[in-house]
Structure 1
Amino acid sequence: MTPIETEVARLQGLIGQEVGVANWITVDQAMIDQFADTTQDQQWIHVDPERAARETPFGGSIAHGFLTLSLASRFAYDCFAMADGQVMGINYGFNKLRFLNPVKAGARVRGRFVINSVKQRNATDMLRETGLTIEIEGQETPALIAEWLGLAVFGPAE
């Protein structure tokens, strides 16, 4: 079997199983402010903690949903290694994505991964759909749930 065929077979045996739980990351106000600067999204619910404490039900500022989502890449680094023969991984998008609970400044979040499906597309590409839940420490409702698509690219078979 080629390296891609070996990896496809391995992951197909894990469909429906949790395959990784990332380390906790604190989403502090500095991170939120940096994200706001980078994306030019300066909405006050993110960057004005005093006003957010007064005028929202959150008790302070909250992270951008896309900031929370962007941490998925970091969580994947915690949970997945490159397979033998794999030369790169490419973010291929999402089938579904729902933001369920805001992440308050100072909260800790982490990602949990479940293999939903995997298929070999051609001699070098494997498409994996991973169920992603980003949970908030101490909260029953997660920050978000998603079906994340990743393309694993393998070197040519020898």
Structure 2
Amino acid sequence: MSTVIINSLEELEQYEGQDLGISEYHTITQEQINQFAAATLDFQWIHTDPEKAKAESPFGATIAHGYLTVALLPYLWTQVAQIENLKMQVNYEIEALRFNQAVTVNSEVRLRAKVLTVKNLRGTAKARIEVIMEVKDAKKPAFSGIITFLYHFL
């Protein structure tokens, strides 16, 4: 799994319609879940109480917040593609985000990405990327959707 290096709008346009790659696996720990709960003030027991989750949850363990898995996008995206020579990058949009299954604590997740479209907006690239967060040894992904980045190249 090698990272694609993209240095310009023209290079990014060459990947339109192509799979870019897959990130490395990342393990979601209880500590990370707890830190996310603290940051978002979402302390629902299904996320933060391992004993109760083991006894009462249909998943048999705590689960990551759905938005925690989404928040991992920037980290995992940089393992798939490094966009260089930028003045600025802006997260612009998330379309059709669908959570497909819960991610239990200590699951390993990775990101699969495909460039759907690249539009040149007067020198700024508007890139729509299909993203799928896979869960190791699971049939369904954690989520799927389309993210849009605006890349302001030098």
TM over 0.5: yes
- Work out the CA distance in 1 between the residues paired with 2:29 and 2:11: 38
C-alpha distance in 1 between matches for 2:41 and 2:13? 41
Look up the SS of the partner of 2:131 in the other structure.
strand
**What pairs up with 1:23-102 in 2 under 5 angstroms?**
23-83=24-84, 85-102=85-102
Q: Which runs of 4+ in 1 moved over 6 A?
A: none
What whole-Å deviation, never above 9, does each CA across 1:36-93 have from its counterpart, x for those lacking one?
011000000000111111112101100000000000000111111224x422211112
1:104-140 superposed Cα distances (whole Å, 9 cap, x missing partner)? 00101010100110101113x1100000000001001
Q: Which has the larger radius of gyration?
A: 1
Matches of 1:70 and 1:61, distance apart in 2: 18
Structure 2, unaligned runs of 5 or more: 1-6
Rounded to whole Å, the distance in 2 between the matches of 1:127 and 1:115 is 11
CA RMSD, 1 decimal: 1.4
- Aligned AA (2:133): I
Aligned to 2:16: 15
Q: Distance in 2 between matches of 1:80 and 1:139?
A: 24
Greater share of strand: 2
Aligned residues: 148
Give SS of 1:81's match: strand
Identity of aligned residues (%): 32
- Any conservation in 2 of the 1:112–1:134 contact (CA below 8 Å)? yes
Q: How far apart in 2 are the matches of 1:7 and 1:61?
A: 42
Q: TM-score, normalised by structure 2?
A: 0.90
Q: 5 Å matches for 1:139-158?
A: 139-155=138-154
Question: In the alignment, is the contact (CA less than 8 A) between 1:126 and 1:151 conserved in 2?
Answer: yes
